[in-house]
Amino acid sequence: MRAKITGAGMYVPERCVPNEELLERFECSEEWIIQRSGIRTRHWVTTETPADLAEFASRAALERSNRSASEIDCIILATLSPQAEFPGTSFFLQRQLGLEDTPCFDLRAQCSGFIFSLSVAKGFIESGQFERILVVGCELQSRGLDMTPEGRDVAVLFGDGAGAVIVEASSDKDNERGLLEIRLHAQGKFAEKLWTEAPGCALNPRISQELVEEKRHYPKMMGRMVFRHAVRRMPEVLLETLSAAGLEQDDVDLFLFHQANLRINEYVAESMEIPEDKIRNNVQIYGNCSAASLPMLLAEAQADGTLKHGALVSMTAFGAGFSWASALLRW
């Protein structure tokens, strides 16, 4: 039995924030933002919650799959910006979808979280434990950024949004479709190179006025180090996954990279000599939506017809942890 994705959906808040809106606040130029990231706009919430974003994306994915929420056997939600400290955002999503006792849980692997979640879903499907799983990447990051010149290196990058897919058991007649291979990696020795320290139970107290004044509750990133590792690890794991499936790079019809930074993706594509017409990016308009970026790309590609039946799709991500992963699927 093989797991396959039957539909994808996405949602971003209505409020679009162009670079021009941030220039005075961050004491920078639009050229500075675009040169470093390629980002021109991002979407930030007004009143929505993380569960709201996840719900809208999930309902879009269900519609694409011609399924109802009641047909879902399990929910897996990847996020680094949860609704509450606990329980996980998936529980709030389950409630908003009108489900009674459907199992659900959150998975934290940051920007690689969607692929990690797909791997778990794939295992559940192939083992026969579940037949139909809702996998969501959801991020509401705008409320957790340092909106001062001191925090601009990180704050200009992130957007809010959600993407969702329905993963189902394939029938014998279309067994060629589905999730072919997934490879996951992590390296915890770099955990503090891209992280948000507080609130955290390694601290005593876990949050305090002093921690807030020191801005330790905001994300911190060693950007150059992240760039160096990302452009090395993403090609490695992409090729590892292709090799495991017995396929070549030229066999791939569409390459989807986590939308952290356009410059990272351009570097990877150039180093691997991937044709431009085989790559899709949307970081320019949505910013870095972390765990949501890959399912958002899938949803766009399905909606506009880019994904044809039988297309071979490669998805690759790198994120905090450090973590990196790649998935190969036949649409």
314 forms beta bridges with: 255, 328
260 torsion bin: left (phi>0), alpha (psi -120 to 50), beta (else): alpha
Q: In the annotation, is 288 catalytic? A: yes
The DSSP annotation for 285-301 comes to HH-B-GGGHHHHHHHHH
| DSSP secondary structure string for all residues of 269-283 | HHHHT--GGGEE--H
Of the candidates 19, 74, 258, 265, the residue annotated as catalytic is: 258
Q: Which residues pair with 138 in a beta bridge?
A: 162
Q: Which of 265, 281, 282, 288 is catalytic?
A: 288
Q: Which residues fall within 8 angstroms of residue 273, CB to CB, at 6 or more apart?
A: none
Q: Long-range contacts made by residues 85-90, C-beta under 8 angstroms, separation at least 24?
A: 85/199, 89/50, 89/51, 89/54, 89/138, 90/54, 90/136
Contacts of 282 (CB under 8 A, 6+ apart): 259, 293, 296, 297, 300
For residues 165 and 292, the answer to whether their CB atoms sit within 8 Å is no
19 has catalytic annotation:
no
CB-based contacts of 189, cutoff 8 Å, min separation 6: none
Catalytic-labelled residue, pool 111, 138, 261, 281: 111
Run of H or E including 209: helix 209-213
State how far the Cα of 312 lies from the Cα of 28, in Å rounded to an integer: 41
Annotated active-site positions, please?
A: 111, 258, 288
